[in-house]
Structure 1
C-alpha cells in the first residue's frame, strides 16, 4: 500500500471529499484510499455526490469567468506595456480559456502593429 506524506487516513473528512471530488488532481491510489476511508467513516454516498457536484460547479464558474475576462481601458492606463505586450505577443489566450480576450486580441493586434509601424516610419524620417 502506498503511503503519502500526509497519510490519507489522517486527513479530515472535508479533505477526503475534496480528493474524491477532483480526481484529475490526484493519482489513482490516493482516490481509492480516500474513497475507502470515506466508507469507513460512514459518509453517505449522497454527501460524496453533492461534494462532487459542487466542485464541478466551481470549475464551471471559474471557466466562465476566464472566458468572459476582457481588456479594459484601465489596463492600458495602469499597465500599458504589459497589456500591449500581451496583445501583440501572446498566442495562447484562447487555448488558456480567455475567449473574450482572444477575440479582442484579434481586433486590436493588427491596429497596434500598424500604429507601431507608422511610428517607426515617422520617427525615422
Structure 2
C-alpha cells in the first residue's frame, strides 16, 4: 500500500509517533514505520524518550481540549440568531455534562427553570383574567 507521503520519506519523529501509537494508524503503516526506524538505526532508548514526550504532549492536548469544552457556553447572540439550533441542542443533548460541557449543562438547567417559571406565570395570569 502506498502512503502519501511515503513512510520512508517522513521525519524520524513522525515515524516514532506512528510506531508508538499503532491504534491511530493503519497496521501496514505501523510496520513500515518500524522497519524504517530500524533501517535508520534509531535506538530503542531514543524512541522511548520520544514516546514519553509525545505521550505527555498528547495528554496536555487532551487536558486543554477538556478545559475548553468545560468552559464553552451559549452566548446571548446564539439565542438571538441560532435559537433553533440552541433549543434543539438543549432538548436533545442530555449528555452535555458527561461529554464535558459543564457550563452549557448549567446554562441549560437555568434556561429550563426560567422557561418553566414564565409558563407558570403566564398560566396563572390567564387563569386570573378568566
In 1, the alpha carbon distance for the partners of 2:4 and 2:65 equals 33
1:61-80 CA-to-partner distances (Å, cap 9, x unmatched) read 1222233333378x535x44
RMSD between aligned residues: 3.3
Q: Which runs of 5+ in 2 are unaligned?
A: none
In the alignment, is residue 91 of structure 1 matched against residue 108 of structure 2?
no
- Structure 2 CA distance, aligned partners of 1:7 and 1:117? 60
Is the alpha carbon distance of 1:72 and 1:11 closer, same or farther for their aligned partners in structure 2, counting shifts above 3 Å?
A: closer
Gaps of 5+ in 1: none
Aligned length: 118
Contact residue 20 and residue 35 of structure 1 kept, 8 A: yes
Task: Give the TM-score normalised by structure 1.
Answer: 0.68
Distance 1:16 1:67 in 2: 27
Give the number of the structure whose alpha-carbon radius of gyration is greater: 2
Question: What TM-score do you get using the length of structure 2 for normalisation?
Answer: 0.66
